[in-house]
């Protein structure tokens, strides 16, 4: 199918940016990716977990086999008390049960490994430009001009901001809104809230830590999420309730000294009965200490600019949905583009009104889902951090009796409404709980059996 002409600039080379670039290439849509840093795939961050909703898109992109080589699937799960003893657990078979239900299980890997897989699967590397930090975006009569800090200018029909929490593209949307007299509508930065901080860590194997595991450790006003990945490398997240909820510019930035102080404060925390935080720190490969904003912007786009991923919706790590939601939003953008660029929709370049309608449809599809995930994730974090006497009592006396049914129900509600790529084949994976869009595609063909929880 010959598409209408369109050039896309992708600003930012993280999970959202590289996955979007690969999607655009797979669909034959012209693009350039501008990455601010010298290396597109840098050794940054710690670990990342991909869930069935994200892995399905990864397989649509032809990356699943490569990802399996650098990841490890979770085969056991435990919810642990403050002393590290299991409150509830499944010691084996988690992977098989998850695959039978959803087609995939959770997998753990280095964030760098995921970026490498996405980058390596992009055929035309000349479309990926490092050392290109966006300085400004200017709307023209027919498109946009993107200027970078080195003085270069690139023209396109639309720009997609995939440049993270402190997004320059988000700032450009706000600046453009001011030019149009719409500042009040787009003045959202001061409403972004952060109630938690997190230390992300990655450590070499520690004797006694469960292999291929997904671990949740409860405590009062803080909690842990941990996972064992390839070669038993451990990825860990220490989530801490801050003294107050901060907003916008008042959200703190932490120093290395702040990080050292917090690690020392939690040095003797149990993550299992025989493994403490100190054991992880003594074998650490990297640690990052950062506040954790939670937000879904009400305004995702303006003119020919749209933001996705952490530039638009930011979720706490306890449900491992940050990267997965970035993949879904990238897929929604490409689905919208393919519909708009179809010859049946018209001819010639996209008009401003067509771009606006397309962006509105993307947000209409994605905003309710991201909002629900961020809201339910916040509630889950409150539970694991036992933030009130009532929550503590519930977690220590009633929670275990609800498992594993509550776990499967929560996962089903998170995975099943997911977005995938409309124009690419869905992986032929038998499953007892079909994704909603798979059920629609297979309606009347009985390819996917449906069972009840």
Nearest 5°: CA angle at 398, between 396 and 402?
A: 125
Q: Is 48 helix (H, G, I), strand (E, B) or coil?
A: strand
Q: Judge whether 50 lies within some domain.
A: yes
- 167/153 Cα distance (integer angstroms): 19
Q: Is residue 424 part of a domain?
A: yes
Backbone angles phi, psi at 49, to 5 degrees: -110, 135
Range of the domain at 144: 7-191+294-446
Cβ–Cβ under 8 Å, residues 3 and 157: no
Give pLDDT, residue 439: 80
In a domain, 127, yes or no: yes
Here the tokens at position 32 are 């350039």
Q: Residue 303: what pLDDT?
A: 98
pLDDT at 45: 67
Cα–Cα separations (whole angstroms), residue 184 to 136, 188, 193, 297: 21, 8, 18, 14
Q: Give the domain CATH number at 62.
A: 3.50.50.60
Q: pLDDT below 50 — which residues of the chain? A: 444, 446-453
In a domain, 244, yes or no: no
Kindly give the pairing relationship between strand 275-276 and strand 107-110: unpaired
Q: Which residues neighbour 42 within 8 Å (Cβ) at sequence distance 6 or greater? A: 112
Measured in residues, the chain has a length of 453
Q: Confirm whether 234 is domain-assigned.
A: no
Tokens of 102: 């959803």
Say how many domains are in the chain.
1
Q: Does residue 130 lie within any of the structural domains?
A: yes
φ, ψ dihedrals at 27, nearest 5°: -100, 5
Q: Is residue 98 part of a domain?
A: yes
The H-assigned helical ranges of 83-143 are 94-102, 111-120
Contact 175, 252 (CB under 8 A): no
Residue pointed to by tokens 């120093």: 255
pLDDT of amino acid 42: 77
Report DSSP state, residue 397.
H
Q: Tell me what pLDDT residue 445 has.
A: 52
Instruction: Supply 209's token pair.
Output: 């830590």
Q: Is residue 216 part of a domain?
A: no
pLDDT at 171: 96
pTM check: above 0.85: yes
> What span, in angstroms and rounded, lies between the C-alpha atoms of 138 and 83?
56
């Amino acid at each position: 199918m010959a598409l209408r002409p369109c050039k896309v600039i992708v600003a930012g080379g993280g999970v959202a940016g590289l996955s979007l670039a690969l999607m655009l290439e797979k669909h034959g849509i012209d693009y350039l990716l501008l990455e601010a840093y010298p290396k597109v795939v840098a050794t940054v961050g710690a670990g990342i977990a991909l869930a069935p909703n994200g892995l399905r898109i990864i397989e649509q992109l032809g990356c699943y086999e490569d990802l399996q080589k650098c990841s490890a699937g979770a085969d056991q799960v435990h919810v642990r008390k403050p002393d590290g003893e299991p409150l509830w657990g499944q010691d084996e078979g988690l992977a098989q049960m998850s695959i039978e239900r959803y087609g995939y299980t959770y997998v753990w890997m280095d964030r760098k490994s995921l970026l490498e897989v996405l980058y390596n699967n992009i055929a035309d590397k000349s479309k990926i430009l490092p050392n290109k930090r966006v300085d400004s975006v200017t709307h023209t009569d027919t498109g946009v001009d993107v200027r970078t800090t080195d003085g270069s200018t690139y023209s396109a029909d639309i720009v997609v901001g995939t440049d993270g929490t402190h997004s320059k593209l988000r700032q450009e949307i706000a600046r453009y809104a001011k030019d149009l007299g719409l500042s009040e509508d787009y003045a959202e930065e001061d409403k972004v809230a952060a109630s938690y901080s997190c230390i992300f860590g990655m450590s070499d194997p520690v004797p006694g830590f469960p292999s291929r595991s997904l671990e949740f450790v409860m405590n009062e006003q803080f909690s842990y999420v941990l996972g064992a990945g390839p070669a038993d490398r451990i990825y860990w997240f220490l989530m801490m309730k801050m003294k107050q909820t901060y907003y916008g510019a008042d959200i703190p930035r932490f120093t290395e000294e702040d990080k050292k102080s917090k690690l020392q404060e939690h040095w003797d925390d149990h993550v299992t009965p025989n493994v403490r935080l100190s054991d992880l720190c003594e074998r650490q490969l990297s640690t990052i200490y950062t506040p954790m904003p939670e937000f879904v912007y009400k305004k995702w786009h303006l003119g020919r600019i749209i933001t996705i991923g952490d530039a638009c919706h930011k979720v706490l790590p306890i449900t491992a949905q940050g990267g997965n939601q970035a993949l879904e939003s990238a897929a929604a953008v490409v689905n919208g583009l393919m519909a708009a660029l179809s010859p049946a929709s018209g001819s010639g370049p996209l008009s401003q009104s067509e771009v606006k309608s397309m962006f509105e449809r993307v947000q209409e599809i994605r905003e309710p889902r991201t909002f629900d995930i961020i809201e339910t994730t916040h509630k889950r974090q409150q539970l694991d951090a036992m933030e009130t006497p009532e929550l503590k009592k519930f977690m220590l006396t009633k929670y275990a009796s609800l498992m594993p049914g509550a776990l499967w129900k929560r996962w089903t509600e998170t995975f099943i409404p997911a977005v995938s790529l409309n124009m690419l084949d869905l992986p032929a994976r038998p499953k007892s709980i079909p994704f909603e869009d798979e059920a629609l595609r297979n309606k009347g063909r009985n390819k996917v059996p449906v069972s009840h929880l």
